[in-house]
Each structure stands twice: as structure tokens, then as C-alpha cells.
A and B are shown apart, each in its own frame.
Chain A
């Protein structure tokens, strides 16, 4: 069975600090995608970054990077130079690379950024 584990219920950082949000996954699929989403209190799920299982380079999108360690089944999100607006819930998700499959989400990590 596929599973996403996010072990940090909450993280607290100061502005301009870097923060790493942990994510491990379990799957028997060889081809899959890993995703990170941000959900502010308004409820909308904002797509942040995507990593394909066969991608050799770690994905980066602006201040977001994904530290992908395939052998360890780890897909940690790194946010550089945190901003107050980064305060939100962050979800790691996975989806097999097959038509019609669903995103499997972790339980999320609440990030609080203070000034």
C-alpha cells in the first residue's frame, strides 16, 4: 500500500531562516510523482513543487527545493529565506504515474514563521 509520512506536526522558524519539512513515502511503484502543496488558512491548496521518480536532479522552484533521496524514499521540502507569508500547512503527496490514480497525502506539517 502507498503511504506518505510527515513526522513533524509543527515547525517554528524565524524570518530569513531556512527550514526543512520532512516527508517519507512508501510505494512499490517504479514510476511516480512527488508533490508538495501549501495550504494557507483560506483553504486553497497551492502547488509548490514536483519531482518525478526518474528525475536525477532535485527539483527547484524559486525559494523551494525538493531534496529527493530515492533509496531512502525521502522527499523533503526545503524553503530558503522564510517569509511571514510562508506560515501555512504543508502537505507532501505522491501519485503513481498511471492514468486515473489519486494523490496520496500525508497528514501535513504546520509551519509558523515569526519576525
Chain B
């Protein structure tokens, strides 16, 4: 069974631009979560989607948004990029959320210059 895939793997953007990251979960998984990882803040939860509905959202500004499609694929968008948005963005999928195992993708490394 294929794992979680994320595209693109690397991205360089300029301050003020916007970016869209994509995540395809494991087949059959309906829950997709997004996390931001930085050296200073560690791993922080962005949001979680299940059956196209956002069920939970972390403490991030409104510039960070996401959505999930009917095939469970998810995208996250960051508008008006700031230098501090430079991070590894990880997507994780699970069957249903809750305490079920979450499997992560390889991540998208975003650099904002």
C-alpha cells in the first residue's frame, strides 16, 4: 500500500507570496492532519480534516488555511508569506483520527526569503 505523499518536497518563496502544499493520504484513510516543524517551536499542529470538514485547528493566524477533497487529498495554503513561515510542513493520515495511528508523509520544506 502506498504511503502518504506530499508535493512539492522543496519550495523557495519570497516574502509576501502565497503557497499551496498538497498531501495525498494512505488509501482508505479519511483523516488528514497538518503540522509545522521548526527548530525553535518544534512540532506544532495546524489543522485536521475528516471527510472534507475541518474538525480541529491549531493556534495559527488566518493566513494558514486548508481544505480536503472528496478523495481525502488535502491542501494547505499560506498567504502573505513571512520569514518565520520557513519550516518543514508535515502531513499525516489516519483511518479516523482520535488515538488511531497517524502516518506521516516526507514533508515539504518551505524556505521564505
Decide if A and B are genuine partners.
yes
Q: Which residues of A contact B (CB under 8 A)?
A: 31-33, 35, 37, 42-47, 50, 52-53, 91, 95-105, 107-108
Binds A, one of B17-25, B40-48, B63-71, B74-82: B40-48
Q: Please indicate the chain B residues that have their CB under 8 angstroms from the CB of A45 in the complex.
A: 90, 92, 104, 107
Could you tell me the distance in whole angstroms from the C-beta of B51 to the nearest C-beta in chain A?
11
Instruction: Say whether, besides A52-B99, A95-B98, A105-B43, A44 and B105 are in contact (CB < 8 Å).
Output: yes
Chain A proximity of B95: nearest CB distance (Å): 11
Q: How large is the interface on B (under 10, 10 to 19, 20 to 34, 35 or more residues)?
A: 20 to 34
Contact of B99 with A96 in the complex, beta carbons under 8 Å: yes
Q: Using A96-B99, A100-B55, A103-B43 as known contacts, list a sample of 17 further A-B pairs with CB atoms less than 8 Å apart, ordered by residue number in A.
A: A32-B99, A33-B98, A33-B100, A43-B107, A44-B104, A44-B106, A44-B107, A47-B101, A52-B99, A91-B43, A95-B99, A98-B98, A100-B50, A101-B97, A101-B98, A103-B45, A107-B42
Which chain B residue lies CB-closest to A46? B104
Question: What are the 10 tightest A-B residue pairs by CB atom distance, in nearest-first order?
Answer: A100-B55, A33-B99, A102-B45, A45-B104, A97-B99, A100-B56, A105-B43, A44-B106, A43-B107, A99-B97
Residue of A nearest to B108 (CB): A43
- Evaluate contact between A47 and B107: CB separation under 8 angstroms: no
Hey, which chain B residues are within 8 Å of A99, CB to CB? 50, 55, 96-98
Q: Which of A42, A43, A98, A103 has a CB less than 8 Å from the CB of B33?
A: A103
A58 to chain B, nearest CB (A): 17
**Could you say which residues of chain B place their CB within 8 Å of the CB of A47?**
101-104
